[in-house]
């Protein structure tokens, strides 16, 4: 799986051999933090040759409405992104793997290859749906923290 067809028919591939670097954002469910990280990287990469995908240890859930809403507030559209299972991808297709939620501990055994890529970071971001008091403040805080981390990552990759 050296290239991908993108997430929607006709869409440019989001990652693959045509990019100098390929980043995988991992999370438990691929429904919030990893979705925001993917959206930020797509939005901020400019002409940098950086492909991006996101997935979950458990995939197939839905992208959280709160994540979509707070990203839309800053002009980043993630409505088309899908919640995918990590099993859909191969670790060797990505040279940068970011655990958004501290799930590095869950990447043992057959999933350990994800931790052995050129770059592996565990950002350990808070889980907005679990802690938000109902005003989306936790979503906004994590959105902004994620943006700063993605900006730092892009600087390292350029």
**Which residues are catalytically annotated?**
27, 101
Say if strands 119-122 and 96-99 run parallel, antiparallel, or are unpaired.
Answer: parallel
DSSP letters, 43-83, are: HH-TT--EEEEEEESS------HHHHHHHHHTT---TT---
SS (H, E, C) 6-31: CCCCCCCCCCECCCCEEEEEEECCCC
Axis crossing angle, helix 65-73 with helix 137-157, rounded to the nearest 10: 70
């Amino acid at each position: 799986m050296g290239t991908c067809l993108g997430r929607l028919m006709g869409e440019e591939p989001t990652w693959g051999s045509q990019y100098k670097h390929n980043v995988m954002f991992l999370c438990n469910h691929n429904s919030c933090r990893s979705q925001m990280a993917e959206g930020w990287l797509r939005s901020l990469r400019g002409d940098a040759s950086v492909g991006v995908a996101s997935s979950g240890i458990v995939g197939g859930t839905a992208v959280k409405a709160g994540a979509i809403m707070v990203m839309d507030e800053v002009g980043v559209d993630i409505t088309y992104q899908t919640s995918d299972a990590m099993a859909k991808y191969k670790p060797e297709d990505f040279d940068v793997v970011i655990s958004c939620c501290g799930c590095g501990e869950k990447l043992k055994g057959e999933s350990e290859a994800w931790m052995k890529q050129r770059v592996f970071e565990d950002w350990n971001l808070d889980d907005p749906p679990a802690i938000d008091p109902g005003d989306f403040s936790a979503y906004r805080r994590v959105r902004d923290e994620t943006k700063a981390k993605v900006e730092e990552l892009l600087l390292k990759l350029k």
